[in-house]
A and B are shown apart, each in its own frame.
Chain A
Amino acid sequence: MIQTRRDFLKASGALIVSFSAASLMPLPLNGQGPFATHPSHIDPNKLDSWLAVAADGTVTAYTGKCDFGQGIYTAQTQLVAEELGIDISRVKLAQCDTDITPDQGTTSGSQSTPTNFNTQNLALAAATAREALLSMAAAKLAEPVANLTLANGVITAKSGRRTTYAELLAGKHFDLPLNFAAKRKPVAHWTTLGRPVPSLDRIALMTGRFEFVQNVRIDGMLHGRVVRPPEMGATIAAVDEHSVNDVGGIVKIVVRNNFVGVVAETQYQAIKAARQLSIRWNPGPELPAQKDFFAYLRRQPSHDSLSVDSGDVDSQLRSASTVLRATYTYPYQMHGSLGPSCAVADVKSDRATVWSATQSVYPTRSILSKILDLPLDNVRVIFVRGSGCYGLNGADAASFDAAILSHAVGRPVRLQFSRQDEMMWENFGAACVIEQRAALGADKHIVVWDREDWVTSLGSRPGYDRPGNVVSGMLLGYEPEPLQPGPAKPPKGEFRNRSNIVPSYFAGCVGNACGGTGSIRSGRALTHTVRSLFFTGPLRSPLRIQNTFANECFMDELCAHAKADPVAFRIQHLRDPRLIAVVKAAADAAKWEARPSPHPGTVRDRVANGRSIACVDYEGGNGYAALVAHVEINLATGVVRPKRFFLAMDCGPVSNPDGLKNQCEGGILQAVSRSLVEQVTWDNKRVTSVDWETYKSLYLDYDMPTIECVFVAQDGVPALGAGETSITVTPAAIGNAIFDATGARLRTVPFTPERVLNALHSANEAAVTRPS
């Protein structure tokens, strides 16, 4: 089960070059996407760190971006096959293992494609390798590279003489640096990339052979469970180990600070012991009532920041003839992985190996080294896919817990969270309040837009040195990243919109440089970050989905006030050609009928129909999407039924159209569930949504809407992220369609029947103020 780089080479009789810690050398920090990476013993600037050609000509690629079900395994295999001109069956991919793959930080944030599919990292390594092999062939065949053709690992000269990768390299390493001048194959010449290659894991998955981290079994392995506190802030008063005397097979009750776990011979014994173990807890603090939470949030001390501030917003608002105001709220939501997190750890006195579904093998190694007090190089973290995570689910916490338990018993331990362990203590997607104010000019254009939000935060990814950012670290006594309350500083430097705080319609001017995608020059976006009641962390489209919901719905409110068509009104306020192009493409696909909203049409059997649009420039330059939604609303019951979606997306050159479509569909439907039913609940003490009865998710019997995807191609642009773009625009599109059908504006997610009925029966237009 454990692969080593040596195995790959040994199998092919290649010369063995040590990748051990002995070859550690100081490396420059190598920025990869948004996450700074740390030096590892695998030098990202060496070609051999990324690719190995075996004696039989097969290629092994080493990547720090791994597959959780989003399809990046297949796409990376296509990439390597494409650049090297070989069939995908000749490429093996080794993903995310701290002993054998380069440190690429975390696989997250729609960064795998931008990072590995453009002109750096894995793509550059593959291009470097192809050019190096062609040069070797030119020398061997005594003809210039221009006279060589490459097909399926065989290089043929004009003379007809030929050689192969296997012959050229003869099982040796390249021993070359990455060549930053190496050229990628142009998109027009692609034969493997750009094709809908079926996902390479599909047969193993469908026939039950696929190994998830939950299936990892190690000789001598024991089973562990954790016993979490009843609520946030509770601490241990006493643990009665005798309370489980009658449960057989118990190896150890492990208590460390406020961490409690049990280790037993079998899973069932571990479950019984965890349920039965008697612990007296000192209670945690009371929680504010959920119904008043958003008002509570606005009263808390906060760390403030300005994303953009034109400086004239207050005066513009004062002089405007009409100002619209509206407040949007978004609840805490869960990753809610179908399989609760699991990890297997084998901790010995001097070294540790952990099989983990983490998105961050290298950061996890660093945290494990800290909590186990072992040298970094003696800890190995091997990624094995878990249940789909959609961000920071319990995988990191489970990895730390498994290691603590294995360390305590000196044997391998498989740690499996219960459903409640996962749902009560994962890092939720943040709750927030977003307040909008804007004014229209006499020409019905938006002249000023002011935006203020309050967003919850506690912990997040542990990174390389913050165990306390997830529950396990906190229980062991580590602090989460501190939140320093303080006023906002004026924005400076380049305009960035990574969290989509700023509406797409802002010019986004900082000083004289305007980096926004729109034309509104008078704008301000102030964010108050407030300490969260519960752990928070990245959940698919973190803050981007919340912000886009509020921005795109409020844009719709402004549009309705101007009595304008939602597509035309958006285009009037945009200046980015790629964003405009997807708006037009989505409208075309949906055969958009230009008219203002609302437009209550025919109502049959008390069911009203609406249509709408929402768009986003994801993270400010990481993918463009527009979504048209057709939605039905039952006026008697308040039930909302999305019927049809039309998505237009521009994410640059597409590696695998089928994989992309699967991600776009999954994103939209996940957002249907998040828009209609999902929210974390709590009482005065603790989280109460702890299973699938109390945390709602749409089951497979839900009559899902149809989805049509249009991929808008642009020439000569880099590949962008695509896994989080479609989900980002969906809640706003649904909310806008409800408005179109009924005139009722939903400003709180999820759109429950009760909220829809309330909105239908009350005048809830945006507050309009006119200076007297």
Chain B
Amino acid sequence: MLHRRTVSAIAKRISLKVNSHEHTVVTDPYTPLLFVLNDELGLRGPRYGCGMAQCGACTVIIDGRAVRSCVMSVDAVGAAEITTLEGLGTPEAPHPLQQAFIEEGAAQCGFCLSGVILTAKALLDGNPKASDEEIRDALGGILCRCFTHLRMIRAIRKYAEAKKA
């Protein structure tokens, strides 16, 4: 019989800086950051895919690094700034990387996009001259089950080339 004790704690007041806005939530500090972003802040970009950091759908950028928000407790974020897919750009003014994805039509269902776009963004911010191989390596933990691989890689390269120029 499966019988696992789970961790639980008294609700705590936690401040978060998300997409340049300050938020305060009162929640179990062990709550995965993903659920706070989705349920408390109403953000749609990071999505629940596996809860085990195996697929990347929940990716956000924290302090310049692509992070799996499904396995990070909300309490562990501290004062660091969180950026979600909707914090990168707006429909009216998409980020150049988002614009490259728009131009290449690099999606089918689109559920995986936070992982793909934000992982590439974090990589290219840290290593603007990343080679094709380095780009692919960085995407090693990201799944797209519609298999839009070719268009996504093309969009990322397009952005990377423009950034280099």
Distance A702 CA – B139 CA, assembled complex (angstroms): 9
**Nearest opposing residue in chain A for B39, CB measure:** A267
A699 touches B142 (CB 8 A): yes
Tell me if A620 counts as interface (CB < 8 A to partner B).
no
Q: Please, what's the 1-or-0 string for A322-347, where 1 marks a CB less than 8 Å from any CB in chain B?
A: 00000000000000111110000000
Tell me if A198 counts as interface (CB < 8 A to partner B).
yes
Tell me if A374 counts as interface (CB < 8 A to partner B).
no
Within B120-165, the residues touching A (CB, 8 Å) are 136-153
With A207-B85, A217-B42 as contacts: A700 and B143 at CB distance below 8 Å: yes
Within B74-100, the residues touching A (CB, 8 Å) are 84-91, 94, 98-99
Q: Which of A71, A209, A669, A699 contacts B150 (CB 8 A)?
A: A669
The interface residues of chain A lying within 8 Å CB-to-CB of B49 are 338-340, 387, 419
The interface residues of chain B lying within 8 Å CB-to-CB of A336 are 145
Distance A427 CA – B56 CA, assembled complex (angstroms): 24
Tell me if A276 counts as interface (CB < 8 A to partner B).
yes
Q: Please, what's the 1-or-0 string for A184-216, where 1 marks a CB less than 8 Å from any CB in chain B?
A: 000000000000001101111111111110110
**Closest CB in chain B relative to A426 CB, distance in Å:** 13
With A280-B1, A388-B146 as contacts: A206 and B109 at CB distance below 8 Å: no
Q: Which of B48, B112, B139, B153 has the most CB of A within 10 A?
A: B48
**Nearest opposing residue in chain A for B1, CB measure:** A280
A202 touches B105 (CB 8 A): yes
A246 touches B8 (CB 8 A): yes
With A199-B105, A246-B8 as contacts: A268 and B28 at CB distance below 8 Å: yes
Of the four ranges (under 10, 10 to 19, 20 to 34, 35 or more), the interface on chain A belongs to 35 or more
Distance A687 CA – B152 CA, assembled complex (angstroms): 33
The interface residues of chain A lying within 8 Å CB-to-CB of B47 are 212, 214, 339, 387
Distance A6 CA – B133 CA, assembled complex (angstroms): 54
Distance A202 CA – B117 CA, assembled complex (angstroms): 13
B110 touches A691 (CB 8 A): no
Distance A210 CA – B117 CA, assembled complex (angstroms): 15
Q: Which of A209, A248, A699, A707 contacts B8 (CB 8 A)?
A: A248
The interface residues of chain A lying within 8 Å CB-to-CB of B148 are 662, 665-666
**Closest CB in chain A relative to B84 CB, distance in Å:** 6
Q: Which of B85, B101, B110 has the most CB of A within 10 A?
A: B110
Q: Please, what's the 1-or-0 string for B43-62, where 1 marks a CB less than 8 Å from any CB in chain A?
A: 11101111110110100000
With A697-B143, A700-B139 as contacts: A207 and B108 at CB distance below 8 Å: no
Q: Which of A70, A278, A339 contacts B111 (CB 8 A)?
A: A339
A699 touches B143 (CB 8 A): yes
Distance A280 CA – B1 CA, assembled complex (angstroms): 6
A-B contact count (CB 8 A): 211
Distance A416 CA – B39 CA, assembled complex (angstroms): 13
**Nearest opposing residue in chain B for A673, CB measure:** B147
Tell me if B15 counts as interface (CB < 8 A to partner A).
no
The interface residues of chain A lying within 8 Å CB-to-CB of B105 are 198-199, 202, 658, 662
The interface residues of chain A lying within 8 Å CB-to-CB of B88 are 207-208
Tell me if A68 counts as interface (CB < 8 A to partner B).
yes
A700 touches B108 (CB 8 A): no
Tell me if B20 counts as interface (CB < 8 A to partner A).
no
The interface residues of chain B lying within 8 Å CB-to-CB of A198 are 102, 105
**Closest CB in chain A relative to B44 CB, distance in Å:** 5
The interface residues of chain A lying within 8 Å CB-to-CB of B35 are 266-268
With A207-B91, A338-B145, A704-B150 as contacts: A385 and B48 at CB distance below 8 Å: no
B51 touches A199 (CB 8 A): no
The interface residues of chain A lying within 8 Å CB-to-CB of B31 are 266, 268
The interface residues of chain B lying within 8 Å CB-to-CB of A281 are 1
Tell me if B4 counts as interface (CB < 8 A to partner A).
yes
Tell me if B66 counts as interface (CB < 8 A to partner A).
no
Q: Please, what's the 1-or-0 string for A373-407, where 1 marks a CB less than 8 Å from any CB in chain B?
A: 00000000000011110100000000000000000
Q: Please, what's the 1-or-0 string for A695-723, where 1 marks a CB less than 8 Å from any CB in chain B?
A: 00111111110110000000000000000
A338 touches B55 (CB 8 A): yes
Distance A280 CA – B101 CA, assembled complex (angstroms): 50
Tell me if B113 counts as interface (CB < 8 A to partner A).
yes
B147 touches A340 (CB 8 A): no
Tell me if A156 counts as interface (CB < 8 A to partner B).
no
Q: Please, what's the 1-or-0 string for A209-248, where 1 marks a CB less than 8 Å from any CB in chain B?
A: 1111011010000010000001000000000000100111
10 nearest A-B pairs in the assembled complex, by CB-CB distance: A69-B109, A208-B45, A208-B85, A388-B109, A669-B147, A208-B86, A205-B110, A700-B139, A69-B108, A701-B140
Q: What are 13 A-B pairs at a CB distance below 8 A? A: A69-B107, A69-B109, A203-B94, A206-B98, A275-B2, A338-B111, A339-B47, A388-B111, A416-B48, A665-B151, A700-B152, A701-B138, A704-B153
Which residues in B have some Cβ–Cβ distance to A below 8 Å? 1-6, 8, 27-28, 30-32, 35, 38-39, 42-45, 47-52, 54-55, 57, 84-91, 94, 98-99, 101-102, 105, 107-114, 116-117, 136-153
Which residues in A have some Cβ–Cβ distance to B below 8 Å? 68-71, 198-199, 201-212, 214-215, 217, 223, 230, 243, 246-248, 266-269, 271-272, 275-276, 278-281, 336-340, 385-388, 390, 416, 418-419, 658, 662-663, 665-666, 669-670, 672-673, 691-693, 697-704, 706-707
